[in-house]
Structure formats: structure tokens, C-alpha cells
Amino acid sequence: MKALFRTTGSLAAVVLLLMSVAAVASAQEASDITLDSPFRSFELGVSEVRVDLDVKLRNSAEDRRLVKLTIEALPGEELPEGWAIAVWNRFFDYKIGELLVEPTTEDTPPQNLRLRIALPATDDEDYERPPAGDYPFVLNVTSPDGSVLYERAVFTVTLPEAPPEEDEEAGSLILRSSFPVLSGPATSRYEFEVVIRNETGEERSFDLKADVLNESLEPVQNWQIAFLPRFGDEKIISTISVPNNLTENVKVRVTPPRNTPPGDYLIPVTVSSEGQVYEEISALTLNIRGQGSLSATTDTGLLNVDATAGSAASIVLRLWNLGTAPLTDINLSADRPPDWKVTYSRDAVDELSDLSGENWADIALTIEPPGDAVPGDYLVTLRASNAESTDTVEMRVTVTQSTIWGWLGIVLVLSVLGGLLGLFVRLGRR
């Protein structure tokens, strides 16, 4: 009988385990995870052996999702021998098989990754490049056990026709970048480095050109792009001469406008010889993160105020956010002469938990000089700051003495004169 109870208990535990697994699986929907990639088909250059594509995973569920990333050929197709296709970390060189994706919100951006397609090197004598044509493959995004298929994205790699024999004898132009992806705020300046290798058979001069495209692959304006030699930041170049079978490093300096919206920006750099006999393109990516920027003034724009010694003068401090991301946890402080009081409105300070670029905040405050303050002009610096930005307003405070002391002085003088006059009258009668 005890054995029967133990067997029944084990079966019940198994049933409960299966029910809990089924409940977890049923809680995951295929629409929870979506994959976003602006490129789904592309053509490799004749001598190009690697390309990195930006992909993003978005989690629309309320809970985090553990996903599995796998690469496979289409049914009935095979990937060419020697090709290495995998998903890599966005900034570091390691492959990713499974990934924990947090829910995508305004504060939590999508998970950025790289899809890398690598072919064997062109100088590998044992490798025979596949014939020209289209080579599709599939990136599957599933749950770890494969029960939920979140996304199935098809990518197509196109290999061009091999150049004629005479062109092959003429050699090739090779262009690469060690760090093709950089990230930071719009207020910074960035420098990529591209390596140009001349294997054309003779020394050649190459023209340098670059454009900037947004996530919709539309050109954007007002970006500053300059090419500089590897050594010497004072020179800006548009062409570079490279000896045969040697390499030259060129820095690509990118300065975005300060009001650039957050997002990924593609910077295709084109290196070409005269007549475009040789031309290669290196795709650089700049990820702009949003950053707030505080601007402080008064509601009237005036930076002076009159105050009476011992009495408080009222002004209104107006704060703007001129940046591209909300400002949070703003602190208010003041630099003032000794014994002066600067008091901010508590209700207004509580509203500074979130300041976006679409509105402003008016902060009522009072400045009170001490009662014994000497009349004259004083400087009071009002400061607003958070972890990202700081701005100050310098107020000139003109202090005067209260009129009551003047009247008291007059009354005192009159009292003294009256007393003396009465004293003279009494002494004169005697």
C-alpha cells in the first residue's frame, strides 16, 4: 500500500510539473518578440568577405523573454561550405545563442545585435568562391525549447559575377573598419577609422566621400563629416595616395547637430579611384543616445531685482530642456552672500521630477538680504543641475534700507529739537 501511495504521489508531481510547463508555454505568444532589421537582401563586393547587419529585438510583453537564436538554410537549400553566419553582440566580439530580452519601453530600448556573414578569405587557396547568384538563409527567434516561434526572418546574400581575367590581374581595393559601430550623445564628436589597402598593382590616389542616412535610409542634413590622416588632426583631406600592396589609415570625424534625435544613423564611406575603376564602401553606424540640456533664465528675462534689507524679494526662475531626452532629478541651489536667504517654492520643486523638451517649469523663489545689509549691489547665482546638465543665472540684487528707519530718524531729530526748544523756553522764563 505504501508503494502504491508513493507511485501515486510521483505521478501527481509529474502531472503538476507538466501543467506548470504548459501554463508557462501558453503564457508566451508568438507576437511577444519581433525582429527589426532595415536590410534583408544585399550584394557583396567582388573581394568582400564579411558584412555586419544591425538587428533589433523588441519585447512587447510585460515580462522578460528568454529567446534562442538559430541560423538555418531554406528548405531544399544549403548554405555554401565555409560560410560562418551567426548573431554577435553589438559592441563586443562574441556570439550569442540565447538572449534575455527585457520588455521594450521608453526607458528600455530594444536589444541591439549584429548579424555577421563571414566568408573565407579571398587569399585562401583551398576555398573556391561559389558561383554568382542569390544565397538565402533564415534567422529563427524561438523560445529555448523551440515551442514558440517568435520570428522567422529570411536574408539573402547576392554574390556578383567574377570580374574578367584582365581585371583580376589588375588587383583590387580592400576597405575595412575595426570598429564600425560607435554610440553616444549628440553633443559629442566621434572618430571612426577605416583602413584602405591598395592591391591594384600600382600606386593610386583614391577619392573619399561619405553620407549620413537615418533608420529609414533617408539622407539627413547639417552633419559635419571630415576625413583626416592617421597622424595630424589639423589636416582635412578629400583624397589619399596609397602605394601598391600597402595600407593607409584614415580617420572619419563625424559631428552630429546638437538637436539630433536619438536613433541609429548609417554612414556609408565610399573610397574610389579615378573613373571609379576601383570602388569600395564601408558602412559605419553611429547610435545617438538622447541627452537632456538645461537652460535657465527668469520669466521676464531680467537679471536684476530690487530688495529691501530685511525683506524678501520675489522672482520666478524658468527652466527649459533644450536636449533630446527628458531631464529627471533636477536639483536647485544658490551661491549667495553670508546671512542671505534664498528659498525655492516646495511645490514647484516637486514638479521637476521630469522635464521634457516640450514644456518648461516656473520656479517661484525669494531672495532676502539681512536687515543690516549695507545698501548697494550684490550678486546671487541661482543654479539648476542634474547628472547630465547644469545651468546658472546670475542675479544682480540692489539693496536699499527700509523707509521706516528714515521716518524713525526724523521723529528722533524732531524729538531732540522739541526737547531743546522746551529747555530754552523754561530757562528763558527764569
Dump pLDDT digits (tens) for 189-231. 999 999 999 998 889 999 999 999 998 889 999 999 999 988 7
Q: Which helix (H) or strand (E) covers residue 302, if one does?
A: none
pLDDT of residue 388: 80
Query: What ranges in 304-365 are assigned the alpha helix state H?
Result: 346-350
pLDDT over 80 (residue 409) = no
Which neighbouring-strand residues pair with 185? Answer: 289
Q: Provide the pLDDT confidence category of residue 428 given band limits of 50, 70 and 90.
A: low
More confident residue, 236 or 45: 236
Q: Sheet containing 172-177: give its strands across.
A: 172-177, 190-199, 247-255, 224-229
| pTM confidence score | 0.47
Strand 98-101 versus strand 149-159 pairing type: unpaired
Are 50 and 42 contacting, i.e. CB atoms less than 8 angstroms apart?
A: no
**What's CA 191's distance to the chain center, in Å?**
16
pLDDT over 80 (residue 23) = no
Class of domain 294-404: mainly beta
Task: Report d(CA 376, CA 396) in Å as an integer.
Answer: 10
Q: Grid coordinates in use for 78?
A: 544549403
Which neighbouring-strand residues pair with 385? Answer: 331, 390
pLDDT tens-digit readout, 317-348: 998 888 778 888 888 899 999 999 999 886 65
CATH number of 29-162: 2.60.40.10
Most confident of 48-52, 107-111, 317-321, 340-344: 340-344
pLDDT over 80 (residue 365) = yes
**What's CA 119's distance to the chain center, in Å?**
32
Query: Which amino acid is present at 54?
Result: D
Residue intervals of the chain classified under CATH 2.60.40.10 are: 29-162, 164-290, 294-404
DSSP, residue by residue, 194-262: EEEEEESSS-EEEEEEE--B-TTS-B--S-EEEEEESS-TT--BSEEEE-TT-EEEEEEEEE--TTPPS
Residue in 213, 179, 181, 171 with CA at minimum distance from that of residue 195: 179
Task: Report d(CA 114, CA 117) in Å as an integer.
Answer: 10
Report whether CATH 2.60.40.10 matches the domain 164-290: yes
pLDDT over 80 (residue 163) = no
Mean pLDDT of all residues belonging to the chain: 83
Are 126 and 51 contacting, i.e. CB atoms less than 8 angstroms apart?
A: no
pLDDT tens-digit readout, 224-251: 999 998 876 678 999 999 998 889 999 9
